[in-house]
Structure 1
Amino acid sequence: MNRFLHLISGLLLLSVSMMYAQTTGKIAGFVFDERTSEPLPGANIYLDGTSLGAASGLDGSFYIINVSPGKYNVVVEMVGYEKKIIKDVRVSVNRTTNLKITLKEAILEGEVIVVEADKMSIKKDQTSAVRTVSADQMEALPVENLNAVVGLQAGVVRGHFRGGRSNEVSYMIDGLQVNDAFGGEGRRVDVETESVQDVEIITGTFNAEYGRAMSGVVNAIIKDGTDDFHFSYTNYLANYVTNHDDIFIGLKESEITRNQDYKLQLSGPILKRKLHYFTNLRYQDNKNHLNGIRRFRVNDFSDFTSTNPEEWYSEHTGDNAYVPMNSSKTLSLLGKISYKMTDQIKLSLLYTGNRDEWKSYDHAFKYNPDGQASHHRQSDMFALLLNQAFSNSAFYELKLSSLDSYYGFYLFKDPTDSGYVYDAFLANINETGFYTGGQMKDHTENWQKETNIKFDFTWQATSHHSLKTGFLYTLYDLKNKWTPVRPDTTMSEEELGLFYYDETGHRVYYNYKPIVYPSNSVYSDIYHVKPIAFSAYIQDKMEYEDMVINAGIRFDYFDPNTTYPSNWRNPANQLNFYLKDEDGNLILDENGNPLLNPERMSTYPKADIKTQISPRLGLAYQLGKKAVLHFSYGHFFQMPPMYALYQNNSHQIPPSDYSTTLGNPQLKAQKTVQYEVGLWQEVVENMGLEVNLFYRDIYDLLSTKIVSTYNQIEYGLYTNKDYGNARGIELKFDFYRGPLQIFVNYTLQYTRGNADNPEQTFTRAGASMDPIPTLIPMSWDQRHTFNATVGYHKGNVGATLTGYYNSGTPYTWTPIVLNPVSRVNLFPNNDYMPSSYSVDFFSYYKFKLFKSIQAQIELSIYNLFDRLNPVWVYGSTGQPYTAVIQESDLSNHRSDFNDYEDRIKNPSAYSAPRMVKLGIGFTF
């Protein structure tokens, strides 16, 4: 620990150098005489309505740093010259907006020239593939959340950035990471698009200020309140209008309230020009598109095991009502108070929270939907943000944040709840293909607390050098509790099986009582850990007339803060081995007790601290006046998800092979080395084309190796030995012309690796299958991805169409036993699913109700053409909803309420059908 404190002290001293704030941008450029093209020193440049400004230097250059994202009017004044106003200059997070301003000598005193800013500015400082989507752009898209905005970008395929696993992306809010530390998938806190001023999406290499990610970064910048009071409320109702009601059962076109969505936003001043607030609330109650039928209740008992139908017994007391099986209820609340203490100091307090409950469709519970468990999430994030400018060329940001989140998957929160029924009701899955009673008994809860201290400092040392440095300290407090609901196994099966019939005619097993097993049981996984993470970096952004260079280096530190077994062949010392002499006799201690053999017993040393050094380099070179060539290279490290370090923390090994996997605190960081080269060209005015080529090597990926205990029980242990690579090309096309906007992107990508997921090697070994000796396509290896958006927005009317085309992703074709090919050891992901396409539509019409109140009607149609797009397919056919049915399958099916085809007609194999969503809102 002392070494760590000394390390922090040293890095804090280093941090006096400076860093970029990650939540602001910069305006820079030159001022020239329009007639002579000579530079004009001493011109005043300022942002209208703010205290930000600068004066041009001897060479006419200027810069304004620490500018919040948004649109500004840039005012330029100089004695003897006409005043000039450049309207709607857009500033994006972490970017430099470059202006070349010409002033004309004044003929008439007081004359003002107003010009529009170029919508297609030269991206001369873009050294990698970055896309910034502004608030007004998101408002015009047919999207429901930030995930949909991210999914529209080139290089993003079903949540995977440039071929990486889905947990290799860093999600941030105002520069603070909010990833799910346990599973690594997605984020613990969600914000709505209506709360976001800018979202920065980096799919390529990224600068040294970003870390703890290998594939990409998503950074959402939250809006501030303004001096203008703003209130808006919108109520949305939605339903599915589809011709495929034979697949999506129970949908009624008259049920206009099937999905409900309510949005409320309030912002304005508390003290004008000083203290402002911004709040956003969204509540959704969605039944969604997948229904089950309540034929059975959880305590119905049925028995179809006999081959004689006359001996079948079935209780089915359900009301046969349609029950939503992928429903969701979500509440999102965000509040931000911003206080401008002085022209140099700004203080903000941010809160964002979520309360969510949702279900994931399980076809086996189609006729017993009440037995399906739900997911639960509760998260609260508080952040205190301090921004202080020392001068026009230096400022810092200090961020203190706390993230407290909870996730649960269960039917009842209390695992000993009397609502749980005996396991005997969960039956007949083999005979009918469905559960005719019973419940999901998995019970998972985890709690995640994060405390973050983040310091960022930027110094514009000269007009050419922006030096940056910063550090981030994170203290985790993680609790996990997996306790499947089980009966008291101290009783015999005969005792547990005793029952009587209650007044409703249902069986009651009077000896059944759900219990929770202790943390040292193979039937639980309970632990509490407090790992520590620290990172720091330094970077120089060198901006010249024709070239921009980003060079930096990053340091990461991670302390698992736990112990590990020194002997993985006997990790919990469940086996005792004693020392013997050369004659085979036990060696005794002074008290006559046999001595344990230390070579075969585990001790528990502290896990090693992991550190990494990551160099980053990016270069952009301007070709002529309308083109930029860029190149970037970097090393990117990310620790595996926390579950892989701490899972099965008691180290207990069950008595059967391949029945558990242990976490490994000795895991090291996963590593990506990425190269990228790209060209951006303004083809004609307001029309841009960008081409990016990339290649990625991915080392030390999370994997699982097989360990054999001394009594020959084989189990899995997480380790770093998987490898993958990805390569591809991205094409982006942007066009603006008055009210017309067109965005098109295409991604060609190849992704290979030796394992599709960390458990694949372990799973194959458990199924007596050989290891994979070569690189195979990953399950997200989507060859072609094409997105196109066309929008027309003028005045109070607007409409947008977005189309998606996705070529198929891999699946494992598995021939039936009668096929001779079935005897060949086929590799996974050996074929591709059918391609898919869909079109989404969004439109609005605004009109005034009263003097200060404006109404808006919105219409969104998702999957406009009601396409049946496959999500997954059966291995025997490569098609959804269709499998090869053999005579033996039909003969083994025993049921009095369905046929065999009912098993394979799973509606979740298709994406959602056409949904029509209508919104009516008011704004003032």
Structure 2
Amino acid sequence: NGNYSLDSEGLYDSWYGNGRLDTEDVNGNGKLDPGEDLNGNGRLDTEDVDRDGKLTTYRMFDRQPQWQTKSDLLSLEWRHTLSPRTYYTVRLSRYHTEQTSNVIERLNEDTDLDGVLDVYWATEPFEDLNGNNAWDEGEWYADLDKNGVYDYDLNWDVDGDGDNRNEDLNGNGLLDAYTPEKEVTTIDDDQDMFHDWNNNRYVDESERDWDGDGDIDEYDKRYFWIPWIEIKDEGFQHTTGGFYGVGSGHPYTFNRTHWHKDFKDVYMAQFDLLSQITDHHKFNTGFELSYYDMFNYSPPDRYSYAEKYHVNPIEWAAYLTDKMEYAGLVVNAGLRVQYFDPRQQYPAPEPYVDENRNGEYDYGESFTDVDGDAKWDDGETDPTWSGEDYADWDGDGAPEYYKVREALAGNYIHEIDDHKNPKWAKVRWNLMPRLGVSHAITDKAMLYFNYGRYFQRPAMAYIFRNINYDMGGGYPIVGNPNLAPELTTQYEVGVRYEFLPGFLVEGKGFYKDIFGLTDTRPVFWTVSDWYTTYFNRDFGNVRGFELTLLRRPPGLITGEVNYTYSISKGKASSIRQGYLTEWSGNIVPTFESYLQWDQTHMLVAHVNLIYHNFLTSLIFNYGSGTRYTRPGQGKLIVENTERYPSRLSSSLRMSYGFSIGKMRASMFFLVNNLFNKRDVRRLPDVQWYHTYKTLAEDYESGKITYNEYMTQVDLNHDGKIDQNKNYPERGAYLNPVVYSDIRRVQIGLSFRLN
């Protein structure tokens, strides 16, 4: 019945655990024939899910990705002292990371168990130059049966068994061995039927001369090669549950990504010069240059989401600081210059004459028709050249439809997926001043002030993601090479006071203004089809104060106690918030709300007790609950108005050190989670948690009666609250991993040679 439980399935109860292969497919043709539908559900029910005539062995880790990861770092550092007051440092480095992922797909091609690869051609493909959906003299076609004429109704059963099957799932022309009993070992396991080592979005096994003309050309690629999205077992719908499987033999495991390859090389050069020019001025300057070589590739998954880019951005920065020290006054002043060039093109709007000066194109205004399609393009709704474009492919000023033979002949100035009206993305320059001032009020008290402007380059993924505008999938996301860096302006003022020898108290207030945070917005290319792109829209601020009590060594007891009060508000808590809001059909808010990580109160204590060779350390960390969004608000959602439970972590470590000859030994006693408090780490079901937490609060506050409360939380009527409602944080299915670890105690002995 599709509920994933061993309830009675009526007619098929006898199938379970009887050791036999049971199926409705009596004649083994893979179809539901008249008289075979024993339960009348209109589907072929069978235990032979991989259609090899045997009971299928379920393997939990089958079709899980195999990962191969490599990384290395090469670095060289040179330091040279020019004088007792001056030295410089030069650093050169290259950091390389690489990942390859492959899902070992092994599928049974021989579904009729005759030991022969069944191949069937219904028709011969052709290039429809005039778009009339019929082959015309002079148009290319694949003469598959080599009879010299085009056969629209080819109806060719190549293997001659009369069943019109096409079993060649990976297009290699061979019947691949099916060995489900053999374990999968490595990323290049020889059982795998699908590869993409050349990272071109086609199954390697299918990249051959299909039409037999002696040449592997664009016609083979366009009409015969198998794109990853068309792997034959994709979309196989299982008879129970109404879901789709990836591995036909294993309906309960899947991985959306068949293949992945990425590498990143970062080449860096740095120079730093430090000089105490005078007794009052400490001068520091330098620069750093970074060159990136980044490749990221994932072929289309079952939902058509894909990724492929190879980019080489450059960034550099130079800085200058001066630390000025005078009696009672210390000033740190600095300036940093930052440069970033994504070195990437994007499809820009076609130039137009803004006749009414409203800052946007209006119908009827003159424009430069870059692609020759007789309409103004805004660079977003029609960003790339596609095979369906009726446009100026060859640069002669006249529009025409795309033709493969013209592309092969080199007559086109554009290629499929090229950007229309490509322009280079902006180069970003930023100046970042910084100032710190501290003034000694007395010999035991100091007042200080800090100010700084900090620009942070957006993550490379937000800049380069899907820059080829692959519009597969229901909700594609496209990167934005023109993203500006995010700006944080920070102010801090505080005072420190040593009220007793070794005892220091500090209080400070802080404020951060954050602008240009990366968000997402939808771009509609039709009324109902849209993609999401990144842009600078979000803003936020963090403000609060911090109190610290510090006991410095020496002494029997040392440590630090710190309390922080803060409020964090902003437009969005994450870069995906706008995307998910659009995806769910809700309204993206334009006002500030609390941020997800807003934590009003934090208290941290670290205390050490030192007596001769005996050391005791206690660490205590308390935080009020972070925030979550109340479910069920409608289209316009006010984010993060509710709080999770508070958190408390603690640990105790006691150790005693002693010597044994030339050996140093230590006995230790360690307790993690000293108070055995089980914090909620995450929620499997926010809706469930909020519903039953609110019910309990309403009952405790008297808003609802006992009977009203029990009616909703005691569904089995045993007089007790159902466990999943008494512990709503665990969700409907009482997920046990929502909590942090229990108290753990370790006792040990360590040795170290002097």
**Which of the residues 370, 383, 405 maps onto 2:97?**
405
Which residue does the alignment assign to 1:603? 421
Q: Distance in 1 between matches of 2:568 and 2:652?
A: 32
Q: Distance in 1 between matches of 2:395 and 2:287?
A: 55
Matches within 5 A, 1:51-70: none
Higher strand fraction (1 or 2): 1
Q: Distance in 1 between matches of 2:691 and 2:605?
A: 26
Which residue does the alignment assign to 1:829? 640
Matched, 1:572 2:387: no
Q: Distance in 1 between matches of 2:73 and 2:558?
A: 36
Cα deviation for residue 368 of structure 1 reads 5.3
- 907-916 or 827-836: bigger deviation: 907-916
Matches within 5 A, 1:61-100: none
Structure 1 residues 779, 543: closer, same or farther in 2, change over 3 A?
same
Structure 1 residues 538, 886: closer, same or farther in 2, change over 3 A?
farther
CA contact (8 A) 1:674 1:694 kept: yes
Which residue does the alignment assign to 1:728? 544
Identity of aligned residues (%): 27
Cα deviation for residue 378 of structure 1 reads 4.8
Q: Distance in 2 between matches of 1:462 and 1:644?
A: 46
Cα deviation for residue 446 of structure 1 reads 3.2
Secondary structure at 1:644 match in 2: helix
**Which of the residues 81, 84, 87 maps onto 1:392?**
84
Q: Distance in 2 between matches of 1:477 and 1:540?
A: 35
Q: Distance in 1 between matches of 2:329 and 2:241?
A: 66
Which residue does the alignment assign to 1:261? none
Which residue does the alignment assign to 1:141? none
Matched, 1:916 2:740: no
- 302-311 or 527-536: bigger deviation: 302-311
- CA shift digits 1:567-611 (9 cap, x unpaired): 12122333855579xxxxx99957884799x9x982322222111
Matched, 1:804 2:621: yes
Question: Residue 651 of structure 1 aligns to which amino acid in structure 2?
Answer: Y
Matched, 1:905 2:726: no
CA contact (8 A) 2:80 2:87 kept: yes
**Which of the residues 739, 742, 749 maps onto 2:559?**
742
Cα deviation for residue 787 of structure 1 reads 0.8
Question: Residue 835 of structure 1 aligns to which amino acid in structure 2?
Answer: S
Cα deviation for residue 410 of structure 1 reads 7.0
Secondary structure at 1:876 match in 2: helix
Secondary structure at 1:628 match in 2: strand
Which residue does the alignment assign to 2:649? 838
CA contact (8 A) 2:688 2:732 kept: no
Structure 1 residues 857, 374: closer, same or farther in 2, change over 3 A?
farther
- CA shift digits 1:291-347 (9 cap, x unpaired): xxxxxxxxxx99849996436789899xxxxxxxxxxxxxxxxxxxxxxxxxxxxxx
RMSD (CA atoms): 4.3
**Which of the residues 338, 341, 355 maps onto 1:559?**
341
Q: Distance in 2 between matches of 1:701 and 1:662?
A: 17
- CA shift digits 1:844-896 (9 cap, x unpaired): 222223x2112223332211222110122342354699899999xx99xxxxx
Secondary structure at 2:275 match in 1: strand
CA contact (8 A) 2:495 2:506 kept: yes
Which residue does the alignment assign to 1:75? none
Cα deviation for residue 752 of structure 1 reads 0.7
Which residue does the alignment assign to 1:660? 476
Return the TM-score normalized by structure 1: 0.50
Cα deviation for residue 823 of structure 1 reads 5.1
**Which of the residues 306, 309, 332 maps onto 1:550?**
332
Which residue does the alignment assign to 2:586? 769
Secondary structure at 2:10 match in 1: helix
Q: Distance in 2 between matches of 1:394 and 1:408?
A: 47
Q: Distance in 2 between matches of 1:661 and 1:758?
A: 12
Q: Distance in 2 between matches of 1:859 and 1:370?
A: 43
Structure 1 residues 594, 450: closer, same or farther in 2, change over 3 A?
closer
CA contact (8 A) 2:331 2:438 kept: yes
Cα deviation for residue 454 of structure 1 reads 0.8
Matches within 5 A, 1:484-883: 522-566=304-348, 567-574=379-386, 578=390, 589=396, 593=400, 602-654=420-472, 656=474, 659-710=475-526, 712-736=528-552, 737-815=554-632, 825-849=636-660, 851-873=661-683, 874-876=685-687, 878=689
Cα deviation for residue 902 of structure 1 reads 8.0
Unmatched 5+ stretches in structure 1: 1-300, 318-366, 487-520, 581-585, 816-821, 892-898
Question: Residue 405 of structure 1 aligns to which amino acid in structure 2?
Answer: T
Structure 1 residues 716, 793: closer, same or farther in 2, change over 3 A?
same
Cα deviation for residue 533 of structure 1 reads 0.8
Q: Distance in 1 between matches of 2:323 and 2:731?
A: 61
Secondary structure at 1:538 match in 2: strand
Matches within 5 A, 1:153-172: none
Question: Residue 731 of structure 1 aligns to which amino acid in structure 2?
Answer: L
Which residue does the alignment assign to 1:335? none
Q: Distance in 1 between matches of 2:583 and 2:598?
A: 26
- CA shift digits 1:360-394 (9 cap, x unpaired): xxxxxxx9577776887654333322222211211
CA contact (8 A) 2:281 2:322 kept: yes
Structure 1 residues 845, 700: closer, same or farther in 2, change over 3 A?
same
CA contact (8 A) 1:304 1:312 kept: no
CA contact (8 A) 2:588 2:636 kept: no
Which residue does the alignment assign to 2:72? 380
Larger radius of gyration: 2
Structure 1 residues 308, 570: closer, same or farther in 2, change over 3 A?
farther
Structure 1 residues 456, 589: closer, same or farther in 2, change over 3 A?
closer
Which residue does the alignment assign to 1:320? none
Question: Residue 647 of structure 1 aligns to which amino acid in structure 2?
Answer: R
Q: Distance in 2 between matches of 1:824 and 1:565?
A: 33
Return the TM-score normalized by structure 2: 0.61
Matched, 1:451 2:267: yes
Q: Distance in 2 between matches of 1:702 and 1:473?
A: 25
Question: Residue 688 of structure 1 aligns to which amino acid in structure 2?
Answer: L
Cα deviation for residue 430 of structure 1 reads 8.8
Which residue does the alignment assign to 1:344? none
Q: Distance in 2 between matches of 1:425 and 1:746?
A: 57
CA contact (8 A) 2:564 2:603 kept: yes
CA contact (8 A) 2:2 2:241 kept: no
Secondary structure at 1:904 match in 2: coil
CA contact (8 A) 1:570 1:710 kept: no
Q: Distance in 2 between matches of 1:862 and 1:830?
A: 32
Matches within 5 A, 1:12-27: none
Question: Residue 446 of structure 2 aligns to which amino acid in structure 1?
Answer: V
Structure 1 residues 915, 429: closer, same or farther in 2, change over 3 A?
farther
CA contact (8 A) 1:425 1:437 kept: no
- CA shift digits 1:262-285 (9 cap, x unpaired): xxxxxxxxxxxxxxxxxxxxxxxx
Secondary structure at 1:841 match in 2: strand
CA contact (8 A) 1:420 1:439 kept: no
Q: Distance in 2 between matches of 1:316 and 1:711?
A: 52
Cα deviation for residue 746 of structure 1 reads 1.3
Q: How many residues align?
A: 517
Structure 1 residues 787, 369: closer, same or farther in 2, change over 3 A?
farther
Cα deviation for residue 711 of structure 1 reads 6.5
